[in-house]
Chains A and B, each alone.
Chain A
């Protein structure tokens, strides 16, 4: 079992909808959490990071962290076709462990 688990998807949403991506982690020592976006054939790039319980908003993106439930989520509001990519959740605790990623497709 991976230390960071994600639903592999694929997740498909219509343009303009909210996309909800979820992630759980097993190591309670994890201190920081990251969401990366990866387009096909490209390197991962950071979207957001979160360290404290609660919500963190950045434009159309909101990250949510619940350390008691060991749960991290990413909401994408007003989804655009350009958001179609694989989204990787990562937990940092000295090293950085990634989930398998969720493939998101936003249909025009």
Chain B
């Protein structure tokens, strides 16, 4: 039982390049989330998906797009990477939207040069 799996674990991009971060969960959870974590800022919500087929913006959605491909998978795309997007990205999932804990992937450390 893998839980939440993110790929890749590390990535270096040049400014302007695009990439997609992949996330998959095997816990049959309805809700999935993408966060970024910067020093001193805690976890900031980028986008979330309350259920298959729905996505909503979080606190810092600019520069990102998401796709809830199916119930298991939730991807995050950077269309034109900027140095300000250098961060650690976490994917998480929870059984429902409000009152159950979120389980986190191992994180993706992204550097944009």
Contacts and interface: CB of A to CB of B under 8 A. Distances in A.
Contacts of B92: 96
Interface of B: 33, 35, 40-45, 48, 50, 56, 58-59, 90, 92, 94, 97-99, 101-102, 104-107
Given A51-B99, A96-B94, A43 B104 contact: yes
Given A34-B101, A95-B97, A98-B35, A43 B43 contact: no
Interface residues of A, number: 24
B42 A99 contact: yes
Interface of A: 2, 6, 8, 31-32, 34, 43-46, 49, 51, 88, 90, 92-101
A95 B104 contact: no
A96 B40 contact: no
A8 B40 contact: yes
Contact of A101 (B42, B48, B97, B106): B42
A45 B33 CA distance: 15
A49 to B, nearest CB: 6
A97 B90 contact: no
B105 A43 contact: yes
Contacts of B35: 98
A96 B33 contact: yes
Given A43-B104, A95-B33, A32 B98 contact: yes
